[in-house]
Amino acid sequence: MKLLTYSVFALATVVGLAGCASKQAAAPSPSKPAEPPVATAPAAEKKLSNAPPAKTGPKLPSEVRTRNAMFKLTSYDELPGWQQDDMRASWSAFRNSCDVLQKREDWREICADSKTVPPNTRAMRSFFESRFTLLRILHTDSRGDGEVTGYFEPLLEGQAQRDAEFNTPVMGVPRDLYTIDWSRVPAAQRRSVVRVKPEGNLLLLAQPGDAASYPLDLRRFVLDDRDRRLRLRLVGDAGSPAARVDPYYTRAELDALGLPQGINAPVVTWVNDPLALYAMQVQGSGRVRMPNGQILRLQYAEQNGHPFKPLRVTPKAKVVVATRGLSGGNTADRADEFEIEGDAPGDAEAPVLTRGVTLAQRAPAAKPAGNDPLVDELLKGARKPAAAPATTQARPQPAVAAQPKPALAGKLSSDPSYVFFKTVPERPQSEGPQGALGVPLTPGRSVAVDPRVTPLGYPVFLSAPAPAGSNISMQRLVFAQDTGGAIRGAVRADYFWGFGNEAGQMARATRHRGQMWVLLPTAEASRLATSKLVTRGVSLGGETENSCLVPDGEFCSEAD
């Protein structure tokens, strides 16, 4: 996403992203419908033989290394569950990736030919086997397993105008937030003071002697090759002695300024729960249900540039008042209440948040799977029925004006990161939010990855245990279509489950060690033999300075 780049980040972990509350099946069904017989397209089947085409040119290296990962040439016969996966369920996600990747030379023919593939699993599997080279992703120390978590789209309640109940603003991108791509600064100047000049909301290096410029001390920042943009604000008048460039405001500073009055930024909508907004910021996107039943889809637009330091949220027990043997309300339609438990940023035992679920650092027995409180926070909206437009019954108003509790505001302020949102055009309710690749996420077939390791848009085979209590196979072909602020490392995936209560339950239960393989177009893989990542067919080991398996100039590029 986004988390954030949470897209993200974050939930609960996270984690890219809200929507309609209709009862759509977010988790893919394990059952497989009957396929059309392969014999319907003999010509295409002949072309898509299971045997890979004869390779010409340099011999493929058995191993390549980057600064962040190691990759080993692998056979499809070694993939656990490859023959059992229903490829038809992944085809729409593949076509979504092609919408972006077909502009690249190595993908143009692949994406064009994919339009002629018969709609059956055998043909689709043969297509991948004949066009892509399989590389297993490993850590730099050769370990083969890593963290697999899950995320989903939350639903919040909102309205266009502020009142006593709906008094928490969902903020758009501030007009005084500037960014600079530090990789465009000459390497010799990256630990010094440079002069910059605004152009729109970008800061560019100023010409020597330009009086209308600001000094930017790059020594104040940690330069991250994952996110090369610094988020900044201008202080004072250009050229004046007081002129300088500061980091953009932290969450605590934004709260102290008083949102929305304190900054020059639009309000996208108003919601009734600051803790639910925080949860959506961790997820990176969400859906907000308005009073007339309209669903407002929100997406990560920008963040304030500060690191994400998650909090742990615990739901309070529901109290149901009984009257003459009948419950005093439908508990499934009531919003949950939550409280902050402990201080996660300073707690070594605290879970690490991604965009979908907590990544347990403690023993599994200490926190049972399926009991993640921050995901529960997101489920509070998803538990509500999917709403026909409201007509006759007004939303009940609280007897006392609802105000954020000071203790809660203080806790949230301990996380310096803050996500800003934008609205996105209406799209089919079954479609997921737009991921970092710029295409809609597909429930059960899209994952968030670290693009320094796994190229965005590329096919990835994932092998992980099924979520607790389900029989849904997680040995399947997925597509790297999103990123997240906490999604870092070689074998690391955040699995998108979709929208709604069922998706949230699955995301909450997805917390496993798993394995990953990336599929590279064979022509692209062949060029690795002559790249800087290998020497005479032998890996460079830990000495390589290259960050990217496939530099793309946007999500992963080799800094000067």
pLDDT per residue as tens, the chain (560 positions)? 544 433 333 333 333 333 333 333 344 444 444 444 443 333 333 343 344 444 444 567 788 999 889 999 999 999 999 999 999 999 999 999 999 999 999 999 999 999 999 999 999 999 999 999 999 999 999 999 999 988 888 888 899 999 999 999 999 999 999 999 998 899 999 999 999 999 999 999 999 888 889 999 999 998 877 788 999 999 999 989 999 999 999 999 999 998 998 889 999 999 998 888 888 887 788 889 899 989 899 999 999 999 888 665 433 333 444 333 333 444 333 333 344 545 444 333 333 333 433 333 333 333 334 444 544 544 554 444 444 444 334 444 443 334 455 666 777 888 899 999 999 988 888 889 999 999 999 999 999 999 999 999 999 999 999 988 788 999 999 999 999 877 889 999 999 998 876 777 788 788 899 999 999 999 999 888 777 665 433 444 445 568 888 888 778 876 54
Comparing CA positions, the residue from 181, 343, 176 lying closest to residue 254 is 176
SS3 297: strand
Q: How far apart (Å, rounded) are the C-alpha atoms in residues 19 and 497?
A: 13
The pLDDT value given to residue 134: 96
Comparing CA positions, the residue from 432, 513, 554 lying closest to residue 139 is 513
Q: State the amino acid at position 193 in one-letter form.
A: V
The pLDDT value given to residue 383: 40
Q: How far apart (Å, rounded) are the C-alpha atoms in residues 261 and 353?
A: 30
| Mode of pairing for the β-strands spanning 459-464 and 70-74 | unpaired
Q: How far apart (Å, rounded) are the C-alpha atoms in residues 111 and 107?
A: 6
The pLDDT value given to residue 490: 94
Residue length of the chain: 560
Cβ-in-10-Å burial (0-12, 13-18, 19+) of 185 comes to buried
Half-sphere exposure (CA, 13 Å, Cβ side) for 460? 35
Alpha-carbon separation of residue 217 from 58, 186, 192, 243 (angstroms): 46, 14, 6, 12
Calculate the CA 539 to chain-centre distance: 31
The residue ranges of every structural domain in the chain are 178-247
Q: State the amino acid at position 338 in one-letter form.
A: F
Q: How far apart (Å, rounded) are the C-alpha atoms in residues 519 and 458?
A: 7
Q: How far apart (Å, rounded) are the C-alpha atoms in residues 146 and 516?
A: 8
Half-sphere exposure (CA, 13 Å, Cβ side) for 151? 47
Residues 6 or more apart whose CB falls under 8 angstroms from that of 170 comprise 158, 267, 268, 269, 270, 271, 277, 280, 288, 298, 421
The pLDDT value given to residue 312: 53
